[in-house]
Amino acid sequence: MARVAAPVAAWVLTRAGLLLLVLKAVTLPGPDVTSDVEVIYRGWYEVLRTGTFPVDDVSWQYPPGAALPVLSPGLLPFLGYAHAFFALACAADAAVLALLLRAGRGAGRSRAGAWCWVAGVPLLGPTAYARYDVMVTAVAVAALLAAARRPAVAGALAGFGAMLKVWPVLLLLGAARGRATRLSWGAAAGTAAGAALLAAVALPGAFDFVTAQRDRGTEVESLGALVFHVGRHHGWDGTVELHYGSMEFLGPGVGLVSDLALGLSVLAMGWLVLWRLRAREFTATTGCEAAFAGALLFTTTSRVISPQYMIWLVGLAAVCMTLRAARMALPAGLVLAATAVTLAEFPVWFGEVVGSTGFGIALLALRNGLLVAATVVACRRLWRSTVTAPGRPVDGDAAMPRQRGRSASARNGMLTW
């Protein structure tokens, strides 16, 4: 009981601090991060209630399932929209903690996953509760934790998550070949297709978000943006403007850098496909490790690295840390460090970042450098443990009795998932 009480107590204390921040009882320097909820989400809420998606707002760049978290504050009519949203974000946060505490019980398991979540979310500051990503992450964590015993349930959750914010499709990467892949991928496809059809029939404009995503440029916090931050000190004459819902660089060369970022994302997908084809061994840790590595790859190579993306990475890292046999402790630590630096660059010193000052560039380079390091380490460890490690290929149809891990604790962890 004491082992559970400590992370729960820490969660209560840290989340009380987050609520004070989003309710503005305590404020941080920099822009007000709650304006997205109070202005943008609330505006979308009013449009969605009329029976259509907000297709005239270019900042609406989400799959149709995103309507659910935007509409969810209506479940608490006794609260104002923003307060209801923050309460539901906190509830999703608590649900993740409960899942991780349960997953951390038993042989081969660890409470480190719960502690990773307890520590990681408040490191992002008020942004953690002022975006709906914590809700999506709750679905993703549930999917990963269900994968070993209930691949169809995991697939359905991943498909539902993908309709909320696309990236949970990466949760399917590490499904063992054979039955687990057929069940999880089939359930994901069926759930996503069903949700998409329902959204298209129910509300006009369900898929207009694709155009808005296609037309986005290089956001000021992305890896590629460092080129223009430095360039502003050497004669580059572009500007930073609010564009498609975020602060982006506009000017000479931006299109090229954005295309290069897309190219890197394509290469990342190619690497993941190659890994999937070459992998010889799927252990109890492979599913969460592959999802974590995949999310790191696509976050780091993206044209946009919004602060809330760190919540995804913290959640996936936390799932990895529930397994003692997982090899992701170092990249998980790097993600936690990057999350702390993210709070410094947004919102605290966001003006320095937008202004491309030396300090702002240093902050951004540090955060993005930590993400690149975490990505390289995670991918290297995933490859070594599944492709180059000794062992025979695993038949997915017999994955549970034949699956091999690095230790007895890994096998025990799989059996108690």
Tell me whether residue 173 is exposed, middle or buried, using C-beta atoms within 10 angstroms of its C-beta: 0 to 12, 13 to 18, 19 or more: buried
Work out the pLDDT band at 35, boundaries 50, 70, 90: very high
Q: Is the model's pLDDT at 415 over the cut of 60?
A: no
Q: Is the model's pLDDT at 123 over the cut of 70?
A: yes
Q: Is the model's pLDDT at 395 over the cut of 60?
A: no
Number of Cβ within 10 Å of residue 269's Cβ equals 14
Gap between the Cα atoms of 407 and 417, Å rounded: 16
Q: Is the model's pLDDT at 103 over the cut of 90?
A: yes
Q: Residue 172 corresponds to which tokens in the numbers above?
A: 């399917």
Q: Is the model's pLDDT at 409 over the cut of 60?
A: no
Whole-number average pLDDT of the chain = 90
DSSP summary character for residue 3: H
- The whole-number pLDDT of residue 122 equals 98
Work out the pLDDT band at 205, boundaries 50, 70, 90: confident
User: What mean pLDDT is predicted for residues 234-245?
Assistant: 88
Work out the pLDDT band at 182, boundaries 50, 70, 90: very high
Q: Is the model's pLDDT at 99 over the cut of 50?
A: yes
CA 1 to chain centre: 30
CA 269 to chain centre: 17
User: What mean pLDDT is predicted for residues 54-82?
Assistant: 92
Of 246 and 364, more confident? 364
Gap between the Cα atoms of 139 and 169, Å rounded: 11
Among candidates 304, 302, 363, 301, which has minimal Cα distance to 338? Answer: 363
User: What mean pLDDT is predicted for residues 277-287?
Assistant: 93
Number of Cβ within 10 Å of residue 27's Cβ equals 11
Alpha-carbon distances of 277 from 67, 141, 184, 221, 270, rounded to whole Å: 36, 25, 17, 33, 11
pLDDT tens digits for range 310-346: 999 999 999 999 999 999 999 999 999 999 999 999 9
Gap between the Cα atoms of 285 and 393, Å rounded: 15
Nearest 5°: phi and psi at 321?
Answer: -75, -10
- The whole-number pLDDT of residue 377 equals 98
- The whole-number pLDDT of residue 86 equals 98
- The whole-number pLDDT of residue 209 equals 66
Q: Is the model's pLDDT at 114 over the cut of 70?
A: yes
Q: If you write DSSP's letter for every residue of 357-388 in order, what string do you get?
A: -HHHHHHHHHHHHHHHHHHHHHHHHHHIIIII
Work out the pLDDT band at 405, boundaries 50, 70, 90: very low
Q: Residue 293 corresponds to which tokens in the numbers above?
A: 């590595």
Of 137 and 208, more confident? 137
Among candidates 292, 334, 298, which has minimal Cα distance to 140? Answer: 292
- The whole-number pLDDT of residue 202 equals 79
Q: Is the model's pLDDT at 231 over the cut of 80?
A: yes
Which element (helix H / strand E) includes 123?
A: helix 112-123
Gap between the Cα atoms of 70 and 48, Å rounded: 9
- The whole-number pLDDT of residue 246 equals 86
Work out the pLDDT band at 376, boundaries 50, 70, 90: very high
Gap between the Cα atoms of 379 and 385, Å rounded: 10
Of 390 and 292, more confident? 292
- The whole-number pLDDT of residue 215 equals 61
Alpha-carbon distances of 258 from 60, 225, 226, 267, 347, rounded to whole Å: 20, 9, 12, 14, 24
User: What mean pLDDT is predicted for residues 55-79?
Assistant: 91
Q: Is the model's pLDDT at 55 over the cut of 60?
A: yes
